[in-house]
Structure 1
Amino acid sequence: MSEPLKITYREAMRAALRDALLRDERVFLMGEDVGRYGGCFAVSLGLLEEFGPERIRDTPLSESAFVGAGIGAALAGMRPIVEIMTVNFSLLALDQILNNAATLLHMSGGQLSVPLVIRMTTGAGRQLAAQHSHSLEGWYAHIPGLRIVAPATLEDARGMLWTALQDPDPVLVFEHGSLYTMAGELPTDATAVDIDSAAVRRPGRDVSVITYGGTLGKTLTAADELSADGIEAEVIDLRTLRPLDDATVIGSVRRTHRAVVVDEGWRSGSLSAEITTRIVEQAFYDLDAPVERVCTAEVPIPYARHLEEAAVPQTTDIVAAVHRVVDGDA
C-alpha cells in the first residue's frame, strides 16, 4: 500500500479541479483571477499553465456576468466550474443563481438542466471584515433547485467536486476560508465522495453536536475537552446543507437524547433554526433537554481580531452549550 499524501485543504481542492479537468474535456474553470494569479486563495495555482486559457478563464470583475455565462455554458452541454471570490460577492450574482440556475428546470417543465458548479469562500476568522467574512450558505440552502455542500475535511475537499459535476442540477460548494491551510494526510487513491449523507465524525452517547464547514474542527476540539469531563459528544458533520440528511441527524438525537447545533451563520432565520425545528418535529419525545444553538452574534463581522473572535462560535462556547444541555441547566 502506498504512503498517504501529506496535503493541505487548498491542495486537495486543486487536485480535485485537476482531476475533473483531466477526466472530462467539457469541464472548465472560470472566475476572477483564477488563471494567471492562481486564484485569490491559490487553489487554481498552476492550472492555467497545464490546461491553457480556454479551460482556465480569467473573467472581468462582474459576478452577474460570469455566473450568467456559466449558466449558459451548462445549458449548452459544458460542465463549468465557476469560482466566486467570497460568499459576500455572490450576492451580486443572486439574480442569476436564484432566478435562472435554480428555476430553469422547473420553468421549462424538466427540459433544461443546469449542471453548473459554483465554488466560493465563506466564513470569518481571517480579519477580512464584514464585506468578506459572512456565512451566508444558509440563505442559499433556502432555495429549491440548488444543492449546497460544505466540505470540511481533506477527503471531502478532494472528493466532492467530481460528484457535484455529475449532478444535473446546480451545486454550490462553500469552502471555509480558515480551512485552506489545514494540513493532513490523504490516501493516494482518494476519489469522489457521497454528497447525499451527513457523517458521524466522532461517536458519542451523551449529546449530538451538529455542525458543518469551518466549525467542525472547533466542535471536535470541544468534544475532546468534554470527554475529559466525562461527557461523550457525538459530532455530526452535515456536509450537505440542502438537501439535509434528516435520517443521520435524527438517528443520532434519538440515541443521545440531547442536541447542540453549531452554525457560523446568524441565529435569526438560520440553518441552525431549521435543524432545530426538524429535531423538534421528528424527535421531540426523544429529547431530555431543549436544543441549544451556538451561532454568530447578530452583528456584521468585525475587523479587529478580538471582536471577530468574540462574534463567531468558539470552542469554549460549544463546551458551555453542551454542559447546559447535559447538566440540566438549559
Structure 2
Amino acid sequence: MKSSVDRKPLTLAGAINEAFSVMLKEDERVLLLGEDIGQNGGVFRVTEGLLEAFGEDRVIDTPLSEAGFVGAAIGMAANGLKPVVEIQFLGFIYPAYEQLMTHAVRLRSRTMGHFTVPIVIRAPYGAGVRAPEIHCDSTESIFTHMPGLKVVCPSSPYDAKGLMISAIEDPDPVLFLEPMRQYRSNAEDVPEGIYTVEIGKGKKILEGEDVTIITWGAMVSVSMKAAEALVQKNVSCEVIDLRTLSPIDENLIASSVQKTGRTVIVQESHPQSSVANDIISIINETSFLYQKAPAAKVSGFDMPVPYFGYEDFYLPTPERVVKAVMDVVNF
C-alpha cells in the first residue's frame, strides 16, 4: 500500500479529481452534484471516472437549474451531508446567488450555531480559453462580499488538491474557483492520499527586494513571467499567490509590502469594486508609512469579457505587469 508521501505528476484538473476520489472513499457523507458531471465527467472532465467508481448515489447528474440544485445541496449540508456542487462556469452561478446569499452563508448565525452548511461550490472561471459570452467571468469580488462564505482560488495542482480537501472538511460554505487556463497547462508532483492546504493562508512563491506582486489564479503564471523579465532590468520582485481571497492573508500582504515598499496587484477581474481594491485598503491600514510609491493594479477592464480573439486585449499580460512595476519603481 502506498503512503501519503508517495507522489505522482498531476495537472490541476487531475489533482481535483484525485481530491474527490480520496474524500469519497474516506467519508460516506461526501457526494458530488452538477450538470453532466456523471456520465460525461463534467465540461472539463474534472469528475471523469468517478461515477463508475462510486455510483450514481454519490455522483449525481442534476437538472439544468443552478438555483434548484444549489438549494437542494444547502438542505443536504444542513442535514449532515457534505455536498460538492459543480457550476459549469462561474458565469452560470448567478441564478443561485439568492440561495447562497440568503441561506447558505446565514444559516449558522440564523440558527445560533445549531446548523452549519458544509457545502463546496466549485466553478471554472476566467478568460483565455476562447469560450463564449458569460463563460469567462472573473467576478470573485461579488462573493468575497458575502460574510460567512470562504473563497478559494488555487493556481497549482498541489494547492488545488490540498485546498479542495480542506474545503470539503470545512464546516462552512466554500466557493472554490478553478482557473480554466490552468486546468492542464502544467503538471507537478502531488502527494497521494489525504493532505490539506490551510484556507486563509497565501504563499510566497518568489523572494524579492524591490517590489511585491500580489496575485492569484491564472494571473500567477502571468506575474511570474513578468518577474522573470524584470530580472533583466535589475528589478527584484517578490511574488505572492494569495490562494484564498476570503479570508485573505493580511499578515502575508503586510510583511511583504513592508519589506519592499512597492506593490503591484495583478487580477483578471474588473478593476472597480475588486479584490485588488480590498488589498490596497489592507496596505493603507497596515503598511502606509512603509510605502515608497502608491500601490498599482493591473486588471481586466470594466466591461464584459469580449469574444474569442479579443480576449487577448482584455487580459493582463506580462508586458502590462512589467510596465506597472517599472512605474512604481520609478515613482
Residue number among 320, 324, 331 corresponding to 1:321 in the alignment: 324
Residue number among 135, 140, 148 corresponding to 1:137 in the alignment: 140
Between Structure 1 and Structure 2, how many residues are aligned?
327
1:56-76 CA-partner distances (Å, limit 9, x unpaired) = 000000000000111010011
2-structure distance, mates of 1:189, 1:37: 25
Q: Which runs of 5+ in 1 are unaligned?
A: none
Residue number among 143, 152, 161 corresponding to 1:158 in the alignment: 161
The question of 1:273 aligning with 2:277 is answered yes
Q: Which residue of 1 aligns with 2:307?
A: 303
1-structure distance, mates of 2:319, 2:120: 35
**Matched residue SS, 1:72:** helix
Tell me by how many angstroms 1:130 deviates.
Answer: 2.7
Q: Which moved more, 1:34-43 or 1:189-198?
A: 189-198
Equivalent position amino acid for 1:90 in 2: I
Equivalent position amino acid for 1:186 in 2: D
Q: Which runs of 5+ in 2 are unaligned?
A: none
2-structure distance, mates of 1:106, 1:7: 39
Residue number among 19, 23, 45 corresponding to 2:22 in the alignment: 19
Q: Is the 8 A contact 2:86 2:123 kept in 1?
A: yes
**Matched residue SS, 1:143:** coil
The question of 1:208 aligning with 2:216 is answered no
1:128-184 CA-partner distances (Å, limit 9, x unpaired) = 133110101111011101000001111111111111122111011000111111222
Q: Which residue of 2 aligns with 1:33?
A: 36
The TM-score with structure 2 as length reference comes to 0.96
**Matched residue SS, 1:128:** coil
The question of 1:186 aligning with 2:189 is answered yes
2-structure distance, mates of 1:130, 1:315: 24
Q: Which residue of 2 aligns with 1:252?
A: 256
Q: Which residue of 1 aligns with 2:52?
A: 49
1-structure distance, mates of 2:38, 2:151: 25
Equivalent position amino acid for 1:23 in 2: E
2-structure distance, mates of 1:160, 1:313: 25
Q: Which moved more, 1:276-285 or 1:29-38?
A: 276-285
1-structure distance, mates of 2:247, 2:165: 18
Q: Is the 8 A contact 1:27 1:79 kept in 2?
A: yes
Q: Is the 8 A contact 1:207 1:233 kept in 2?
A: yes
2-structure distance, mates of 1:217, 1:46: 29
Residue number among 237, 247, 254 corresponding to 1:243 in the alignment: 247
Give the 4+ runs in structure 1 shifted more than 4 A. 1-4
Equivalent position amino acid for 2:298 in 1: V
The TM-score with structure 1 as length reference comes to 0.96
Tell me by how many angstroms 1:232 deviates.
Answer: 0.8
**Matched residue SS, 1:266:** coil
Q: Is the 8 A contact 2:15 2:190 kept in 1?
A: no
**Matched residue SS, 1:235:** strand
2-structure distance, mates of 1:150, 1:187: 17
2-structure distance, mates of 1:284, 1:95: 37
1-structure distance, mates of 2:10, 2:285: 41
Q: Which residue of 1 aligns with 2:173?
A: 170
2-structure distance, mates of 1:225, 1:85: 35
**Matched residue SS, 1:265:** coil
Identical residues among aligned pairs (%): 38
Residue number among 257, 281, 287 corresponding to 1:283 in the alignment: 287
Q: Which residue of 1 aligns with 2:223?
A: 219
1-structure distance, mates of 2:238, 2:146: 29
Tell me by how many angstroms 1:3 deviates.
Answer: 7.4
2-structure distance, mates of 1:197, 1:166: 16
2-structure distance, mates of 1:157, 1:267: 26
**Matched residue SS, 2:288:** helix
Equivalent position amino acid for 1:128 in 2: A
Q: Is the 8 A contact 1:129 1:301 kept in 2?
A: no
**Matched residue SS, 1:53:** coil
Residue number among 71, 83, 93 corresponding to 1:90 in the alignment: 93
1:208-234 CA-partner distances (Å, limit 9, x unpaired) = 000001100111111111112111100
Q: Which residue of 2 aligns with 1:233?
A: 237
Q: Is the 8 A contact 1:32 1:83 kept in 2?
A: yes
Q: Which moved more, 1:268-277 or 1:185-194?
A: 185-194
Q: Which residue of 1 aligns with 2:128?
A: 125
1:180-213 CA-partner distances (Å, limit 9, x unpaired) = 1122221434722111211101110000000001
**Matched residue SS, 2:166:** helix
